[in-house]
Chain A
């Protein structure tokens, strides 16, 4: 997969001679390439395998849009010329006669980034950047920038989910650790049950609850808190993603917290209060510091899982709640731009491995427990 993200050799195998000639050409500003480049391109288009050319065209279109239709038209014309058995006097003029765009140097400049068979173009694309004519890295057009926004949103949502999980999970874990055995066992089952329930089932349940004529809106209308036409849009946006992901990842926060809180002796709090600390001070100065290992373990685990989440955001997120995972799936399945898909995946994997490594350092991977 990593190889795929930098692999750019496809066009080179389709137009080998053209690229050789192109490399020989001593480029000047606003100049067109010499006759040889046109000549080799002519024969390679006339004799090339149609499917291979098609694949290469898709790649060329990433470099500069317009290539695909230009070459397709040209190939048709060239095949006609070859059929007639004519030998063009000047290949250059033939090309320009077929389509004026062949006299446009910017198309030839975009060849520049395709010549090498290893390229970082996909990585730059994944960060909303592209190459300009000189081969420098520049920002994409305003309307084509979406990855940076999605990356930022992915991190934002992950951080929020982690914080909400902590806020909700902390009291639950505390109860689990301190209630008498009979109640805590029951509570434990309630914590673990979602863990065992199908992800899709839980996501479906949230859609049913949150949608505009769903359960929560229904109750709010019935209570008179909101009017019938003022129903709140809670699903198919970022809010829905946040709510559903928090609930789904909550057990991953509660379990590590619980295993840490279980071993904190209760006498510490009593001792603190005995020495005159207010309950809040005792909690902040005595109890909280001892739960830090649990907080960091749960926090990292939730964060790492949230970054790569795909199913829930895809179903609940609607248009503006999608995370980076959705783009990976989109390029893998729909646009078949596998290079970009692999680059996005590799970046995500890299980020995730850093946190995984941190987790391993702080908590130790063999300390994961399931129920």
Chain B
């Protein structure tokens, strides 16, 4: 569908290959791009900017909170560990539509519906479980004696965290952050209910497009998103291997 008839012909017709829809996607509405059936607007670009804005802020908050939660939960004498873990993970399991409905009622009362703050906070809640899971996985086999060693040498807790713990679990934190980012970046349901036109994101724009008609522009965006996810997946895979090397676990 990104392709036109000419591309499938043999011998290939060079005329048929074009980046017309890509130009439409980035908001270039010059004469040779505009067509009667596909509307041209800067919405896609606006959506991209918003998606990154919301995604990045949500990722930063979720990563910070998730890492701290994972550190606390992996202490051996943490009380109510199972319960806290179950509650933290629940946004991942509870149907999004229920989360969205509940948050909508709650936000309506405290005036957060249709604001960036509201959307970002909702995304933080959804993304934190992923950080908790990945960081907890890195902390398995983490030698707690190193913390004791650092403290016995006089390091304050903050210094211990940044100089000793953080470098060792960094791969886990980063891959958790990437998970968090892709979660927020992909999220449709929350955005659908809680965002107005000002908080338009890529998924919301795609959703609106798919419901009417699948235009070539949507497929262009889809291609871009697939490329992005391939990139992120590669990064995570590399990080995982590095983390296993760091912790001295043999790769499987």
Report which A residues bind B (CB closer than 8 A): 1, 4, 181, 189, 192-193, 196-201, 203-205, 207-208, 262, 304-305, 307-311, 315, 325, 328-329, 332-333, 338, 341-342, 345, 348-349, 352, 356, 359-360, 365-366, 368-371
Contacts and interface: CB of A to CB of B under 8 A. Distances in A.
B225 A352 contact: no
B82 interface: yes
Contact of B93 (A204, A305, A315): A305
Contact of A1 (B105, B188, B219): B105
Interface stretch (B30-38, B57-65, B119-127, B207-215): B207-215
Contact of A199 (B86, B102, B186, B232): B186
A356 B96 contact: no
A104 B225 CA distance: 62
B144 interface: no
B95 A315 contact: no
Nearest to A310: B97
A201 B236 CA distance: 21
A342 B105 contact: yes
B85 A365 contact: yes
Given A310-B95, A349-B98, 11 more contacts: A4-B105, A198-B186, A198-B226, A200-B203, A201-B225, A309-B95, A315-B207, A315-B211, A329-B97, A348-B98, A371-B240
A201 B222 CA distance: 5
A45 B99 CA distance: 38
The bracket for how many chain B residues form the interface is 35 or more
B226 A201 contact: yes
Contacts of A197: 225-226, 229
Interface string B195-234: 0000000010011001100100011001001100110110
A191 to B, nearest CB: 11
Contact of A315 (B82, B210, B240): B210
A10 B89 CA distance: 36
Contacts of B18: none
A204 B102 contact: no
A328 B192 CA distance: 13
Contacts of A1: 101-102, 105-106
Interface stretch (B42-50, B132-140, B146-154): B132-140
A71 B140 CA distance: 67
22 contacts: A1-B102, A193-B230, A197-B225, A198-B185, A198-B186, A200-B222, A201-B222, A204-B218, A207-B214, A208-B214, A262-B252, A308-B94, A308-B97, A309-B95, A310-B95, A311-B96, A315-B210, A329-B193, A332-B101, A365-B82, A369-B137, A370-B133
Contacts of A205: 222
SS of A interface (majority): helix
A183 to B, nearest CB: 13
SS of B interface (majority): helix
B244 interface: no
Contact of B193 (A307, A332, A360, A369): A332
B206 A345 contact: no
A300 B100 CA distance: 23
Contacts of B240: 371
A281 to B, nearest CB: 30
Contacts of A199: 186, 188
Contacts of A371: 236-237, 240
B170 to A, nearest CB: 17
A152 to B, nearest CB: 18
B189 interface: yes
Given A199-B186, A200-B186, A369-B137, A352 B95 contact: yes
